[in-house]
Amino acid sequence: MIKVTDLVKNYGRVEALKSISFKVDKGSVFGFIGRNGAGKTTTMNILTGLIKYNGGKIFIKGKDLLKHKRELVRSIGYLPETPAFYNYMNAYQYLNFINDIIGYDTKKSGKHISELIEMVKLSKQAKRRIGGYSRGMKQRLALAVAFMNNPKILFLDEPASALDPEGRLEMLELIESLKNDRITIFISTHILNDAERVCDKICIIDEGKIILTEELSQLYKTYIQPIFDIEFEEEPASEVDLLKKLGWVESIKQKGRRISLYVKDIDHAKKQVLKEISKLNVNITSYQIRKSTLEDIFIRIIKK
């Protein structure tokens, strides 16, 4: 569905994208993840035809984006990170306004707009002014806008990053429901729990370079690594430094009185970790072994 080869984007002397390549399968949810400033939004703006690029090839539905841009963008829906609206309008008025811009069949527009408003769960608020909407409601309205042209490919740029927990959950449920419609979804996010929930494939970008592209299920198999979570009675200080010196310890993540111990050799660690902790001058209140999350895997890959 989407094939990107050796894509380069420069802003003056700054190389924002450094010859990146990846492929997005039809009907899949592709997670494009990375830290802020990694190149996610730049890539998305290029793929949606909003900005030009300096090198490489982009094929969407088998067609060159440069040669068939006008045709291809008609099959694309885009939810930007910070959507803008005319706040004096209500949802019906705004979607009718967008409908006039894109030239959708006016005979079918009324029914289509009602269906979109129902899809994004704004039926009760549809006649209220947009200026009175919460951030989550505005984000759902922006998703309805992205669906105005019945897209085959949907680009979502940080769709839940500024939402409260309830708004995030609603947005993720909407994305999950779209899987059943076989729409190809390209989602850019730095919230790894969100990507873990909805994505089929993960692509990690850092400093304008692709670090890894892998099916989520295969990513777990390759990088799965049990983690030792240990909580102490008091916040450990010099004790953490002592543990870092052990040859089988890869890294330690500390948050207050709790540490997460990442190890190189799990079998050796199971035999040694309690022995080494017992030597420390601090009492343990809890100890458990858990499986890696996408966030844990991401941190390991970026550090390497």
pLDDT tens-digit profile of 228-282? 888 888 887 777 778 888 888 888 888 888 888 888 777 788 888 888 888 887 8
Side-chain half-sphere of 58: how many Cα atoms within 13 Å? 24
What confidence score (pLDDT) does residue 95 get? 93
In contact, 230 and 277? CB cutoff 8 Å: yes
What confidence score (pLDDT) does residue 47 get? 95
Domains and CATH numbers, the chain: 2-215 (3.40.50.300), 224-303 (3.30.70.100)
In contact, 216 and 193? CB cutoff 8 Å: no
What confidence score (pLDDT) does residue 304 get? 64
pTM of the model: 0.77
Q: Of the candidates 275, 77, 277, which has an alpha carbon nearest to the alpha carbon of residue 159?
A: 77
Q: Of the candidates 3, 31, 4, which has an alpha carbon nearest to the alpha carbon of residue 175?
A: 31
pLDDT tens-digit profile of 140-166? 899 899 988 888 899 999 888 767 787
What confidence score (pLDDT) does residue 224 get? 67
In contact, 154 and 183? CB cutoff 8 Å: yes
Tell me which residues of the chain have a pLDDT lower than 70: 104-108, 162, 224, 304
What confidence score (pLDDT) does residue 112 get? 87
Query: Running DSSP on this structure, what letter comes out for residue 291?
Result: P
What confidence score (pLDDT) does residue 150 get? 85
